[in-house]
Structure 1
Amino acid sequence: MEKPRYRRVVLKISGEALAGNQGFGLQHDMLVSVAEQVAEIRDMGIEVSLVVGGGNLWRGITGSAQGMDRSQADYMGMLATVMNALALQDALEKAGSDTRVLSAIEMRQVAEPYIRRRAIRHLEKGRIVIFAAGTGNPYFSTDTTAALRAAEIEAEVILMAKRVDGVYDSDPLVNPNAQRFESLSYLDVLSRGLGVMDSTATSLCMDNNIPVIVFDLTKPGNIRRVVMGESIGTYVGRDS
């Protein structure tokens, strides 16, 4: 039987992906699909951690643009990620997986506080770890959280799950002739301003040589395909 390419991964899921076709909130079928796919790769022996965004519920940058204090708006965004994390935890446990939510903001009634060694120990015990509340600091995105947590737990790759099948040279929803990249270097992403992740997250990945694979979450089975090393989506790394 073919072995998975990766042993320990960080799966970054955008809040918008969890909203499905609704555009806002949580779509039950999408939660179930994600949970079943994550449970499948965990059963293959892969150590899986998740970082989830909160854009389906609240965006700090949107609140700031409306006149709200940026830090206050960002803290609200962190709380939105906790709500998504709890929803994912429920779906994963219904799929038969053992999980732990670790929050960068302490809220002991619903999540454990984030401690690096504790997170690694949970992974070693076969639990799926869900990182919530971003980094616990305003002005940092959940993309940066994914890069930071991947570096801390020594993950081999960040799987960037989106609603598109990779990185394009322009918006494929606007430009029907947009071209998808099969691979990119970190410097390509930074210099061309491509929407893989923000510049802070990209630089952190580059400095720690953490590859990123951008792929379509909405297609069932794609999470398994990407951890098995199939060439789907767009690969971002030093040697692309």
Structure 2
Amino acid sequence: MKLSGDLLAFAGRIGHTFRTPELLVQAVTHASISSATRPDNQRLEFLGDRVLGLVMAEALLAADTRAAEGLLAPRFNALVRKEACADVARELGLGDVLKLGRSEMMSGGRRKEALLGDAMEAVIAAVYLDGGFDAARDVVLRHWSGRIGAVQADARDAKTALQEWAQARGQVPPTYTEMGRDGPDHQPVFTVEVRLASGEGEIARSGTKRAAEQAAAKALLARLEKRND
């Protein structure tokens, strides 16, 4: 089997030459277009998530040999979460080569964060199965290296920081409630409220539920820190 021109170019962007091209084809095939003879990327996604996690764990330990687990864990979470995978997918133009069913394509599937993140994990698995762990590590580190450096400076995301703020004061973790969802299916806007047991809360809107949660947590943290100054 030979890769099509667009997939061959994509393989060049990720930096791996496939000996078994079928693995890359499967990695970019969404369940909406799969069949008995065309497997989708869900099983590869499962494997790729674990490969990515191991590479990131190794990289973080090597980057900071003195960091305690309490510092390493939020850094790890920031690097392997779906948003990070989707960001890398966008940089590589993965959305342009996805194989989607008509309904998924019409609803903006090539831009959906969850779909891109899942496919990026599947691509990592495809590289791992094709070339082994060293090949997968090389690909991941090539495209995550800037992010690894960034989390060294400030790894705590807003949700983690807010939870730590609450726990330090004897409160239960904050709750997040989806207040609404507007816009078309391919470009939704989520409204999320975060609230502490003590009553303080904030509302934020964003294109993904998780991003709205982060924005709400960040806004509430800023208000709490200003109040405590």
Q: Which TM-score band applies after superposition, normalised by the shorter structure?
A: under 0.3
Structure with greater strand percent = 1
Structure 1 or 2: more helix by fraction: 2
Please tell me whether Structure 1 or Structure 2 has the larger radius of gyration of its CA atoms.
2
Normalised by the length of structure 2, the TM-score is 0.27
TM, length-normalised to structure 1: 0.26
